Structure 1
Amino acid sequence: MTIDDDDLVARIRQALKVVIDPELGHNIVDLGFIYDVSVDDGVVHIIMTATTLGCPAAFFLKEGVASSACLVPGVESVDVTMTFEPPWQPSMISPGVRSSLGFAEVN
C-alpha cells in the first residue's frame, strides 16, 4: 500500500461513518464494526462485522458500507466481507460512544 492508498483508506473510513447501526444509533466505524480496509489498484477490500451472527441488520450494514465506499473518489470497486471472527464486543466501541451508550469503562 502506498501513501496515496493510505490517504484513500482514511477517506474511505471517514465515508463509512455515514452508515449508522439502526439498533445502536451510532456509526459503524465508532462502533468498531470495521476490522480492516485495504486498497489494491483502486479495488477496496473491507472486512467488517456486526454485533451478533444473527444480526438482522447485517445485510443492510454490508450494503451501506459498499455503497458509501463506492462514492469515494479513487475507488474503482468494493469487496465487503462480513466476518464474526473475532466476535464483536463492546470494548471495540470508541471510548466516547461507549460512554454515551452507557457501557462501563473497560480496563
Structure 2
Amino acid sequence: MNLKEQIALVDKIREHLKKVMDPELNINVVDLGLIYDVSLIEENAVEIVMTLTTPGCPLHDSIIGGVKHCVLELEEIDHADIQLVWEPAWSPEKMTEAGLKAIGR
C-alpha cells in the first residue's frame, strides 16, 4: 500500500468512527475529540490512541468496544489495537466545530 492509499484508509477509518457515539452526550467520538491518533501498524492493522471525557467514565468498556467493533467492520482492517490514554487530558477545546455545535456552543 502506497502512502496515498494509507492516508486515504486512515481518513476512511476516522470517518467511519463517527458512527460511534458517546451515549451520555450523544456526540460521536471523533467530533467529541476523543480520537487522538489513527495509525496503520501493518497493512491490515490499525492502532487507535484515544481518551474518554473522564477517567471514571461508567461507559468506558462500551465506548472502547464500540470503537474496536466499528473499525473491524471495515474490510481493509483485520486487527485493531485500541490504546486508552489520559494524557493529554480531554477538554472541550479538543472538540470539532460540529461537536461544539451539537452542544450549543
Q: Same fold (TM over 0.5)?
A: yes
| Other-structure match for 2:65 | 63
* Cα distance in 2, alignment partners of residues 99 and 13 from structure 1: 19
Q: How is 1:8-19 mapped onto 2 (pairs within 5 angstroms)?
A: 8-19=9-20
Moved over 2 A (4+): none
Q: What secondary structure does 1:31 align onto?
A: coil
* Cα distance in 2, alignment partners of residues 49 and 95 from structure 1: 19
Aligned residue pairs total 103
* Cα distance in 2, alignment partners of residues 20 and 28 from structure 1: 6
Structure with the higher strand share, 1 or 2: 2
Displacement of 1:59 after TM fit? 1.1
Aligned-residue sequence identity (percent) comes to 37
Note the residue ranges of structure 1 that are not aligned, 5 or more in a row. none
* Cα distance in 1, alignment partners of residues 80 and 97 from structure 2: 29
* Cα distance in 2, alignment partners of residues 33 and 58 from structure 1: 12
Displacement of 1:72 after TM fit? 1.0
| Other-structure match for 1:88 | 90
Note the residue ranges of structure 2 that are not aligned, 5 or more in a row. none
Moved more, 90-99 or 68-77: 90-99
Deviations 1:48-100 (A, max 9, x none): 11001111111111100000000112112100011111000001111232133
| Other-structure match for 1:3 | 4
Paired residues of 1:32 and 1:94 also in contact (CA < 8 A): yes
Paired residues of 1:16 and 1:69 also in contact (CA < 8 A): yes
Q: What secondary structure does 2:82 align onto?
A: strand
RMSD: 1.3
Moved more, 92-101 or 32-41: 92-101
Displacement of 1:46 after TM fit? 0.3
TM-score (norm. length: structure 1) = 0.89
Is 1:21 the equivalent of 2:17?
no
TM-score (norm. length: structure 2) = 0.91
